[in-house]
Amino acid sequence: MTFRKNKIIFSIIRKEFLHIIHDPRSLMIIFLLPTLQLVMFGYALKMEIQEVKLGIIDYSRSTASREFIQYFSGSIFFKPFLFEGQLSQMDQLFKKRQAQAILIIAKDFLTIIGFATLQPRCR
Tell me the percentage of the chain whose pLDDT exceeds 90: 7
pLDDT at 121 over 70: no
**pTM of the shown model:** 0.54
pLDDT band at 123 (very low <50, low <70, confident <90, very high): very low
Give the residue from 74, 78, 71, 62 showing the smallest Cα distance to 112. 62
**Is 71 a domain residue?**
yes
Instruction: Give the chain's length.
Output: 123
Instruction: Please tell me the predicted confidence (pLDDT) of residue 9.
Output: 92
Instruction: Please tell me the predicted confidence (pLDDT) of residue 40.
Output: 81
DSSP character at residue 50: -
Report the DSSP beta bridge partners of residue 56: 82, 103
Contact 56, 83 (CB under 8 A): yes
- Cα→Cα distances 42→20, 37, 47, Å: 27, 8, 10
Helix (H, G, I), strand (E, B) or coil at 101: strand
Q: How many domains does the chain have?
A: 2
Both 106 and 86 in one domain: the answer is yes
Both 34 and 81 in one domain: the answer is no
- CB environment 43-57: b (16+ within 10 A), e (fewer): eeeeeeeeeebbbbb
Task: Lowest mean pLDDT of 5-9, 84-88, 111-115, name the range.
Answer: 111-115
Instruction: Please tell me the predicted confidence (pLDDT) of residue 61.
Output: 85
Contact 55, 103 (CB under 8 A): yes
Both 56 and 114 in one domain: the answer is yes
Instruction: Please tell me the predicted confidence (pLDDT) of residue 14.
Output: 93
Both 23 and 74 in one domain: the answer is no
**Is 123 a domain residue?**
no
Give the residue from 95, 108, 100 showing the smallest Cα distance to 81. 100
Its domain, for residue 14, covers 2-44
pLDDT at 116 over 70: no
**Is 103 a domain residue?**
yes
Both 18 and 36 in one domain: the answer is yes
Both 10 and 36 in one domain: the answer is yes
Helix (H, G, I), strand (E, B) or coil at 122: coil
pLDDT at 105 over 60: yes
Instruction: Write the pLDDT tens digit of every residue in 8-66.
Output: 999 999 998 888 888 888 888 888 888 988 888 777 767 677 788 888 888 888 888 88
